[in-house]
A and B are shown apart, each in its own frame.
Chain A
Amino acid sequence: MKALLAQTRAEVFMTLRRGETLLLTVGIPVLFLLFFSSVHVVTTPTEAAVNFFVPGILSLAVMSTAMVSLGIATGFERGYGVLKRLGATPLGRPRLLGAKIATIVAVELVQAAVLVPVGLILGWKPGGHGVVAGVPGSVAVVLLATVAFAGIGLLMAGVLRAEVNLAAANGLYLVLLLLGGMVVPIGKLPGGLASFAKLLPADALSAALHATLGAGVAVPAESWVVLAVWAIAAPVAAAVSFRWE
Chain B
Amino acid sequence: MPAVQVTELTVRYGSAGAVTAVDRLDLSAEAGEVLVVLGPNGAGKTSTIESLEGYRRPTSGRITVLGLNPISDHRALTARIGVMLQNGGVYPMIGPRRVLDLFASFYPDPLSTESLLDLVALRAVAATPWRHLSGGEQQRLSLALALIGRPEVAFLDEPTAGVDPEGRRAIRAVVADLRAEGVCVLLTTHELAEAEKMADRIVILSAGRVVRQGTPHELIGAAATSGLTFGAPPGLDAVSLAGALGTGAVVTETAPGRYRVDGASGPAATAAVANWLAERQADLTDLSRGRNLEDVYFEAVGAAARGPAEPDVTVVAGRRTRRTRRGRRPHEVR
- Chain A residues at the B interface, C-beta cutoff of 8 Å: 2-3, 5-7, 10, 13-14, 17-18, 77, 80-82, 84-85, 87-92, 244-245
Contact = CB atoms under 8 A, between A and B. Distances in A.
Contact of B106 (A77, A90, A244, A245): A90
A90 B107 contact: yes
Given A90-B79, A245-B55, A3 B106 contact: yes
Contacts of B79: 90
Given A82-B88, A88-B53, A6 B93 contact: no
Interface string B86-128: 0111111110001001110111000000000000000000000
Contacts of A245: 55
Contact of A17 (B93, B103, B107): B93
A80 B90 contact: yes
B106 A81 contact: no
Give chain B's interface residue range (CB within 8 Å of chain A).
20 to 34
Contacts of A81: 85, 87-90
Which 5 interchain pairs have the tightest Cβ spacing? A85-B89, A81-B88, A6-B105, A88-B83, A81-B89
Contact of A90 (B78, B91, B98): B78
A244 B57 CA distance: 13
B161 to A, nearest CB: 15
8 contacts: A13-B98, A14-B93, A80-B91, A82-B88, A85-B145, A88-B78, A89-B78, A244-B55
Contact of A84 (B85, B98, B102): B85
B107 A85 contact: no
Contact of B89 (A2, A6, A84): A84
A154 B46 CA distance: 27
A82 B106 CA distance: 15
A84 B55 CA distance: 8
B58 interface: no
Contacts of A84: 55, 85, 89
A6 B101 contact: yes
Nearest to B101: A6
A241 to B, nearest CB: 16
A118 B67 CA distance: 60
A88 B54 contact: yes
A120 to B, nearest CB: 35
A5 B145 CA distance: 19
Nearest to A92: B75
B175 interface: no
A218 B294 CA distance: 76
A10 B90 contact: no
Task: Classify the secondary structure of A's interface with B.
Answer: helix
B143 interface: no
B149 interface: yes
> In terms of DSSP, what is the predominant structure of the interface of chain B?
loop
A80 B89 contact: yes
Contacts of A88: 53-55, 78, 81, 83
B94 A85 contact: no
Nearest to B87: A81
A82 B107 contact: no
A10 B98 contact: yes
Contacts of A2: 105
Contacts of B101: 6
Contacts of A91: 106
Contacts of A10: 91, 94, 98, 102
Nearest to A76: B92
A81 B89 CA distance: 4
A245 B87 CA distance: 12
Contacts of A17: 93
A3 B55 contact: no
A87 B189 CA distance: 23
Q: Which of A82, A88, A90: most chain B Cβ within 10 A? A: A88
Given A81-B87, A89-B78, A90-B106, 10 more contacts: A6-B101, A7-B105, A10-B98, A14-B93, A14-B94, A18-B93, A80-B92, A81-B88, A82-B88, A87-B55
Contacts of A5: 105
A16 B173 CA distance: 39
A242 to B, nearest CB: 13
Most B C-beta atoms less than 10 A away, residue of A77, A80, A82, A90: A90
A5 to B, nearest CB: 8
Contacts of B81: 88
Contacts of B93: 14, 17-18
Contacts of B105: 2-3, 5-7
Contacts of B106: 3, 6, 89-91
A17 B98 CA distance: 14
Contacts of B85: 81, 84-85
A36 B83 CA distance: 52
